[in-house]
Amino acid sequence: MAQLKNIKAVIFDWAGTIIDYGCLAPTKVFIEVFREKNILLNSDEARGPMGLAKKDHVRELLKIESVQLQWVDEFGKIPGEADVEELYARLEPGLSMVVKQYSQAVSGAIDLINLLKNQGIKVGSTTGYVEDMMKNILPLAVKQGLLPDSVVNSSEVTGGRPFPWMIYRNCEKLGVYPLNRMVKIGDTVADIQEGINAGMWTIGITKSGNEVGLSPEEIENADPKWLNEKIAFAAQKLLAAGADFVAEGVWDCLPILEEIDRRIESGVSQ
């Protein structure tokens, strides 16, 4: 492989990108928390705002027309901010526990992160999870050998994605700049928007991520034509959000990083 000479840092998302193939943990918990209030969410609805800070995710779910209609039938009113707070209070402890079951590293993540670190490239990370959730994930990730140089969660900043504040916090912790020589890798529209708003190169993840939303076992058993269509749709959505490149998973990102490195060297700017 070529030595990456121009990329200063790569910032990864967590669930759906480097752990939790299919981004299953948050989807499961969102559906269950709403079911406890007799509100039915399907998987696509639950996944729609994925990548946002989890309280913002709750707010977006409560804006869905079908959810609001169910809420009015059940409670006689449109859901408000007090309902956001109540749902989030239920969500946070449940998700903090469930994430431990979905902390397996995605194939290729450990190898890519170690390769980047060995080349002197800083490795940061951002997530919609809050500190208590990451406290349960990080020890399990470290045991597998998955250890970015920096971890920034949404509770450390004044606003999560699509705001670029978590990226900026990574830059400060890692001591790296400029942002146009850095790359954001993530599996949601919010990840891509975060990278764009920070002025970074962006790579969208399809097959292992939220937009496809399938476990490795479901991938293995899926009809190939249907699966390829689903992956293509995910790629189209992330590219439409502004991603510079897409990859099926982190296992496919090294050639893209080499191409970005060449473009930076040739003077192509973000």
Q: Which domains does the chain have, with CATH numbers?
A: 9-23+105-265 (3.40.50.1000), 25-101 (1.10.150.240)
The reported pLDDT for the residue numbered 153 is 94
Catalytic residue chosen out of the listed positions 8, 13, 55, 191: 13
Q: Which two tokens stand for residue 30?
A: 């969102």
Catalytic residue chosen out of the listed positions 8, 20, 54, 252: 54
Using alpha carbons only, give the angle 172, 108, 211 rounded to the nearest 5 degrees. Answer: 80
Rounded Cα distance between 70 and 186, Å, is 32
DSSP letter for each residue of 165-215: HHHHHHHHHHT---GGGEEEEESSHHHHHHHHHHT-EEEEE-TTSTTT---
pTM, two decimal places: 0.94
Greatest CA span in the chain, whole angstroms? 62
Query: Taking a C-beta distance cutoff of 8 angstroms, is the pair 131, 153 a contact?
Result: yes
Rounded Cα distance between 99 and 137, Å, is 7
Amino acid at 131: E
Q: What are phi and psi of 51, to 5 degrees?
A: 105, -25
- In the chain, % of residues over pLDDT 70: 100
pLDDT digits (tens, 9 = 90+) for 194-203: 999 999 999 9
Amino acid at 215: S
Closest residue by Cα to residue 58 from 162, 163, 133, 128: 128
> Is pLDDT of 1 > 70?
no
> How many alpha carbons lie under 13 Å from residue 176 in its C-beta half-sphere?
25
> Is pLDDT of 27 > 80?
yes
pLDDT digits (tens, 9 = 90+) for 50-86: 999 999 999 999 999 999 999 999 999 999 999 999 9
Say whether 13 is catalytic: yes
Closest residue by Cα to residue 30 from 4, 51, 9: 51
Rounded Cα distance between 3 and 265, Å, is 12
Q: What are phi and psi of 105, to 5 degrees?
A: -65, 140
> Is pLDDT of 213 > 90?
yes
Q: What are phi and psi of 195, to 5 degrees?
A: -65, -45
Name the pLDDT band for 2 (thresholds 50, 70, 90): confident
